[in-house]
Amino acid sequence: MADAAVPAFIQRLWRLPTTPPRRGRKSALTVESVVGTAVRLADNGGLDAATLPKVAEELDVTAMSLYRYVGSKHELLQLMMDAASEPRIPERTASGWREGLHLWAVDLWILYRSRPWLPRVPIYRAPSGPHQIAWLERGFTQLAATDLDWKEKLAALTLLSGYVRQSALLQRELEEGREPNQAQADSEREYGAALRLVVTSEEFPQTAAMLASQVLGNDSAGDDDPDQGFLEGLELVLDGLAAQIADPD
């Protein structure tokens, strides 16, 4: 495929060679250096630390000069997201589609937990970069032996990746909302105790029953392990997918 047929954004995502300007001194900037700097700033200070002006300041250039390499602030975020989403090598060979997708989801969870700014990047378009496509390919590979059609496979991976992303985002926000050094179980117990003062069984019978069950802040359930709730929800999602695969009608 000729480069001219590939949109400029895709060229930058895939680091395709571009025709250099015929005149003028060659710039020291590249897509790689701009995006790499932005990712480093985000790793160190969160997404707010990786704005175009801050990236420009780090590279000692003007913010306007960066647009030749990243197109727009939205595009910079998409370039950062793909660059920071290096595919993980599965820890073992899966014995079937369910174990394969379980490992896929856990590896994505680990990535999001290690780089908490990633799930905060707004999703402006479908996966387009090489790293994102590698994650998609790995997911498709796990579903290859099933009878799901392509629409169903896409729906399954969209649901699963969305669950992982939202879980990582929610977990991080809850952590940020707690008092310094406060354990998750303690925060949940405080929440439950406060709600029991105002939630009545007459008005909210199901919620009141949940609060009375003491499920919130139950240390024996591993509530201070951020992976525990994620893994329990993951099994529910996979249960639903298993039902669809077993009975597609």
Which domains does the chain show, CATH number per domain? 3-83 (1.10.10.60), 97-183+224-246 (1.10.357.10)
**227-249 as b/e: b if 16+ CB within 10 A:** eebbbeebeebbeebeeebeeee
Cβ-based neighbours of 171, under 8 Å, separated by 6 or more: 113, 226, 229, 230
In the predicted model, what is the mean pLDDT of the chain? 91
What confidence tens digit (pLDDT) does each residue in 39-73 have? 999 999 999 999 999 999 999 999 999 999 999 99
Band of the pLDDT at 76, cuts 50, 70, 90? very high
Q: Give pLDDT, residue 167.
A: 97
Confidence of residue 3 (pLDDT cuts 50, 70, 90): low
Please name the residues in contact with 31: beta carbons below 8 A apart, sequence gap of 6 or more: 12, 15, 69, 70, 79
- Shortest CA distance to 79 belongs to which of 134, 120, 38? 38
At 225, list the tokens: 């392990």
pLDDT digits (tens, 9 = 90+) for 209-223: 999 998 887 765 455
Q: Are 78 and 13 contacting, i.e. CB atoms less than 8 angstroms apart? A: yes
Q: Model's pTM, two decimal places?
A: 0.91
Inter-residue contact 187 to 165 (CB < 8 Å):
no
Average pLDDT, stretch 125-141? 96
Give residue 88's pLDDT.
85
- The torsion angles phi and psi of 29, rounded to 5 degrees, stand at -80, 150
Please give the pLDDT value at position 201: 97
Q: Which pLDDT score, from 0 to 100, does residue 5 have?
A: 86
